[in-house]
Chain A
Amino acid sequence: DSGVTQTPKHLITATGQRVTLRCSPRSGDLSVYWYQQSLDQGLQFLIQYYNGEERAKGNILERFSAQQFPDLHSELNLSSLELGDSALYFCASSVWDRGQGTQYFGPGTRLLVL
C-alpha cells in the first residue's frame, strides 16, 4: 500500500459526460501528479500540482482539468468524454527535499466510456 488513495476504483459512463476523479496524497506530500495509462499511449504524465499550484503540464487535453485543494487532495475533471478517454488514471504524490523525491502511485481509477 503506497499510502495514496484514489476514488472511485471503477467508473463507467457515456460519451459526452463529465466525471471527477479524486486523489488523496500520502500524509506530508505536497506534490500530486496525474497520469493516464492506456494500451496505445502507455503511461503519460498529465499534470502536477505543488501545494495548490499548478507546476507542470504534460499531454493533458483541454477537456481535462485538475486542481489541488488546501487539504492537498486533488481532483481530475474529465469532460465531454470520448471513447478514447477510456483508460486507467493514476495519481501519484511525492515529497520533494533538496532536489530529490520519489513518486508513490495510487491504485488507479479505471474509466470506461461507452
Chain B
Amino acid sequence: QQQVKQSPQSLIVQKGGISIINCAYENTAFDYFPWYQQFPGKGPALLIAIRPDVSEKKEGRFTISFNKSAKQFSLHIMDSQPGDSATYFCAASVVTGGGNKLTFGTGTQLKVEL
C-alpha cells in the first residue's frame, strides 16, 4: 500500500530550466511534508519541508507548493543546475513518541543537462 505517490519517476531538464516533482498522499493524519535529496552513495539529506497550514514555502531556488484540500504537494527547482542532478524523495510524516515516522515517495531521478 503506497501512501505517498510521487511522479515523475525520472526527469531531464535543461540548465536554467524549472524542475517540477509532484506528490500526493492519502492519510490526513500526516502533518509534516519534507523533501529529501539523495546523491549516489550518500544518505538522503533534507532539502526543504512544509507544514499543512502553509500553502507555499520558498528557500533559495527551492519552493514547495502545498494543496491541503487536494492532498497534493510539489517541489519546484528554479534555475536548475547540473549540481542539482540527484534523486529527490517527497515524504510525509506522523508524530511518534519523541519523533516522527516518515513515509517516502518512490523517488524522482533528476538530470540537469548543460
Q: Could you tell me which A residues sit within 8 Å of B by CB distance?
A: 2, 4, 30-31, 33, 35, 42-45, 48, 50-51, 53, 55-56, 58, 90, 92, 94, 96, 99-108
Chain A residues in 8 Å Cβ range of B95:
99
The reply to whether B46 and A56 contact each other, CB–CB distance below 8 Å, is: no
Q: Interface size for chain B: under 10, 10 to 19, 20 to 34, or 35 or more residues?
A: 20 to 34
Q: Is the interface of A mostly helix, strand, loop or mixed?
A: strand
Chain B residues in 8 Å Cβ range of A108:
42-43
| Nearest-Cβ distance from residue B1 to partner chain A, whole angstroms | 10
The reply to whether B98 and A96 contact each other, CB–CB distance below 8 Å, is: yes
The reply to whether A58 and B101 contact each other, CB–CB distance below 8 Å, is: yes
* Beta-carbon nearest neighbor of B94 in chain A: A56
Q: Is B100 an interface residue (CB 8 A)?
A: yes
Chain A residues in 8 Å Cβ range of B105:
42
Closest 5 CB pairs of A and B: A50-B98, A105-B43, A31-B99, A56-B96, A55-B97
